[in-house]
Amino acid sequence: MAVIALAGCSGAPGVTTSALALLLSWPLQAGRRMILAECDPDGGAVLHGLLQGTLGDRYGLRNLSVAARKGEFSEAFWRQLIDLSAEDGNPDTPRDRLLLPGITDPAQAASLDQVWKILAQMFRGIEAESGHDVLIDLGRRGACGPCGVLAEQADATFVVVRNTLRGVQAAQGRVRALEERVGGVGVLVVDQGPYPAGEVQRVLQAPVIATLPYAPQDARVLSDGAEQPRHFIRSPLMKRARTVSALLLQRATLHRARLDPRGLRAAGGEVTHAG
């Protein structure tokens, strides 16, 4: 189980869409949960994208700042989560794919300095005590400034990059800054452009861990709440997202093992080496 952060860069590379695809396709054992937290200081996108504004702003990160001041953070956190399990169209799906919506106005980020720190600790506790996976959407600049503590406490951080000239150039500074702050940064490529993974890896000086297909029609279901086609969960995007999740988990496990091999063995984990 792991805490994984996804970061973007300028040019809207598709961080939130990728995160939602991973959330809805993440392989889960019985009793496990997957939590996606929108922690973009520029504002979340799911409430008014995938969910089409149907829930207003009753849920989300902004409500946790008051709870933190009152010492009621843990209880409030679980009340702010929205179940997205039924998005796969199956009413019998367990309620195990949960979303913490982001702020609705960038101005709200100013009141969250303490919340970021508490969230980072809570995500570590959720992963360690409950075995749940946590995916953090940091947006385009969320690993900088006060909310960068979320990337520092994650098992692994990945930058989402489109393999176009514009996308790769935009990612260069972002990857360097994250590498300096957290180290061990990986790249998740959205395969829109002509550059192969090896070339992206060479330019960014960071390993390409996995690739998602560029699928605008399927992506609009996740980014804008477009009508879901039949068998959406088995579309190429969602099927590939399931494979990508396993690769990200493997990377996170290896990265944690390098930082604290004794802690991993104490938790009963095994260290494997990729071929």
- Tell me the per-residue pLDDT of 243-260, one tens digit each, with 9 for 90 and over: 999 999 999 988 888 766
On whether residue 51 sits in a domain, the answer given is yes
Beta-ladder partners of 217 = none
On whether residue 153 sits in a domain, the answer given is yes
Question: What residue type is assigned to position 157 of the chain?
Answer: T
For residue 49, give its domain range.
Answer: 3-265
On whether residue 256 sits in a domain, the answer given is yes
- Under the banding of pLDDT at 50, 70 and 90, the label for residue 92 is low
Q: Are 159 and 176 in contact (CB under 8 A)?
A: no
Our count of domains for the chain comes to 1
**Beta-carbon count within 10 A of 100 CB:** 24
CA–CA distance, 131 with 96 (Å, rounded to integer)? 12
CA–CA distance, 73 with 66 (Å, rounded to integer)? 8
On whether residue 272 sits in a domain, the answer given is no
- Tell me the per-residue pLDDT of 36-87, one tens digit each, with 9 for 90 and over: 999 999 989 898 899 888 887 788 898 898 898 889 999 999 999 999 985 4
Tell which residue, 91, 98, 93, 88, has the closest CA to residue 232. 88
Q: What is the mean pLDDT of the chain?
A: 87
Beta-ladder partners of 82 = 99
Q: Report the percentage of the chain scoring pLDDT > 70.
A: 90
- Out of 18-27, 102-111, 151-160, 208-217, pick the least confident: 102-111
On whether residue 275 sits in a domain, the answer given is no
- Under the banding of pLDDT at 50, 70 and 90, the label for residue 269 is very low
Is a pLDDT exceeding 70 seen at residue 275? no
Q: Which tokens hold the place of 169?
A: 């150039």
Tell which residue, 255, 253, 257, 247, has the closest CA to residue 18. 247
- Tell me the per-residue pLDDT of 175-221, one tens digit each, with 9 for 90 and over: 999 999 999 999 999 999 999 999 999 999 999 999 999 999 999 99
List helix spans (H) across the chain.
Answer: 15-25, 64-70, 73-79, 113-125, 148-153, 165-181, 197-204, 216-224, 236-259, 261-266
- Residue 25, CA distances (Å) to 61, 92, 100, 152, 192 in order: 23, 16, 17, 26, 21
- Residue 125 makes CB contacts below 8 A (sequence gap 6+) with none
pTM of the model: 0.89
Question: Pairing state of beta strands 82-83 and 97-100?
Answer: antiparallel
On whether residue 193 sits in a domain, the answer given is yes
Is a pLDDT exceeding 70 seen at residue 171? yes
On whether residue 274 sits in a domain, the answer given is no
* pLDDT score recorded for residue 261: 53
On whether residue 25 sits in a domain, the answer given is yes
CATH code for position 120: 3.40.50.300
